[in-house]
């Protein structure tokens, strides 16, 4: 299955002045990691994060990007700007951006296309609300999100994408999906990708689980066949907790 990737999503946390030391701490705590280790930081923290990650195994990601190359988009950041800084990953379509920043399946698709064209690795978030889960339409919704996200993307490019399954009801709530619930959807995502492309592309895609993953519950989730890593919010803000999750991913 896909390469194991543990990525922290700092969200709107930590200051630029704290970032260099914290990324160094993460690099030290995760030395010898058998998976890819990524810290996704606020835009203003990216420069010190990249500086601290130099010469270590840690990769740096942004939490968003704009789909245009440049122009009159006040407050936005382009793929070229991220690449120029030395950023490798970018989170696209996080449910918080879908909820608060008008992110749609269409803008998510445009951003994935742009990220891939510029050599950034997109971490594409999908996931259902509690209401949708209770209505029994989880896989229908995920299927639409995946198909729209990957529209127009070649099999070769699709294989580079990371998909993060993040049930909205599990984010920041302390209420994790059970190992089996997470595996069921992650396996479903792989099947959708196999139908869209082929088995080889579907197997190459890294599928992460995200939503209250922590040092205590990570081992069971990461042991599942179709869960190739995690997108970690709260627990990524403490280096020892994050390192425990990294150590469980092999
Ligand atoms: P928590 O780990 O804080 O629940 O956040 C998950 C998440 O949204 C990662 O993108």
Q: If you measure from the C-alpha of residue 234 to the centroid of ligand 1, how many angstroms do you get, rounded to a whole number?
A: 6
Predicted confidence at residue 248, as pLDDT, reads: 97
> Atom 5, ligand 1: which residue's CA is nearest?
233
Closest ligand 1 atom to 125 CA = 10
- Please indicate whether residue 66 is annotated as part of the active site: no
| String of DSSP letters for 148-211 | HHTTT--HHHHTT-EEEE--GGGTTSS-PPPHHHHHHHHHHHHHHHHHHS-HHHHHHSEEEEES
Predicted confidence at residue 174, as pLDDT, reads: 87
Residue among 174, 234, 244 to mutate when testing ligand 1 (max atoms within 8 A of CB):
234
Predicted confidence at residue 175, as pLDDT, reads: 87
Question: pLDDT tens digits for 164-214?
Answer: 999 999 998 988 899 999 999 999 999 999 999 999 999 999 999 999 999
- Please indicate whether residue 57 is annotated as part of the active site: no
17 dihedral zone (left: phi>0; alpha: psi -120 to 50; beta): alpha
Predicted confidence at residue 65, as pLDDT, reads: 98
Its pTM stands at: 0.98
Q: If you measure from the C-alpha of residue 193 to the centroid of ligand 1, how many angstroms do you get, rounded to a whole number?
A: 24
Predicted confidence at residue 250, as pLDDT, reads: 86
68 dihedral zone (left: phi>0; alpha: psi -120 to 50; beta): beta
Which one of 36, 63, 66, 94 is the catalytic residue?
A: 94
> Which of 199, 209, 125 minimizes the C-alpha distance to 161?
125
Q: If you measure from the C-alpha of residue 11 to the centroid of ligand 1, how many angstroms do you get, rounded to a whole number?
A: 8
Predicted confidence at residue 98, as pLDDT, reads: 98
Mean pLDDT score, 142-155: 98
Q: How confident is the model at residue 30 (pLDDT cuts 50, 70, 90)?
A: very high
**Does 2 score more than 80 pLDDT?**
no
Closest ligand 1 atom to 95 CA = 8
Q: If you measure from the C-alpha of residue 172 to the centroid of ligand 1, how many angstroms do you get, rounded to a whole number?
A: 6
**Does 38 score more than 80 pLDDT?**
yes
Predicted confidence at residue 115, as pLDDT, reads: 98
Question: pLDDT tens digits for 96-120?
Answer: 999 999 999 999 999 999 999 999 9
CA torsion 240-245-247-248 (nearest 10°) is 150
């Amino acid at each position: 299955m896909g390469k194991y990737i543990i990525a922290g999503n700092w969200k709107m946390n930590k200051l630029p002045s704290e970032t260099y030391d914290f990324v160094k701490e993460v690099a030290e705590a995760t030395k010898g990691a058998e998976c890819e280790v990524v810290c996704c930081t606020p835009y203003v923290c990216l420069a010190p994060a990249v500086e601290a990650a130099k010469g270590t195994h840690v990769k740096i990601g942004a939490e968003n990007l704009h789909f245009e190359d440049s122009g009159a988009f006040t407050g936005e950041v382009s793929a070229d700007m991220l690449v120029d800084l030395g950023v490798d990953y970018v989170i696209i379509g996080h449910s918080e951006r879908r909820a608060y920043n008008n992110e749609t399946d269409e803008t998510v698709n445009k951003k994935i296309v742009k990220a891939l064209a510029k050599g950034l690795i997109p971490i594409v978030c999908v996931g259902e609300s509690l209401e949708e889960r209770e209505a029994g339409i989880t896989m229908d919704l995920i299927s639409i999100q995946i198909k729209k996200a990957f529209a127009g993307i070649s099999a070769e490019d699709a294989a580079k994408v990371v998909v993060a399954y993040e049930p909205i009801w599990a984010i920041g709530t302390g209420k994790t999906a059970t190992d089996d619930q997470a595996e069921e959807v992650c396996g479903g995502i792989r099947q959708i990708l196999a139908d869209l492309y082929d088995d080889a592309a579907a197997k190459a895609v890294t599928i992460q689980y995200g939503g209250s993953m922590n040092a205590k519950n990570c081992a069971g989730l990461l042991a599942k066949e179709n869960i190739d890593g995690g997108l970690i919010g709260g627990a990524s803000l403490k280096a020892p907790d994050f390192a425990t999750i990294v150590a469980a991913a092999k």
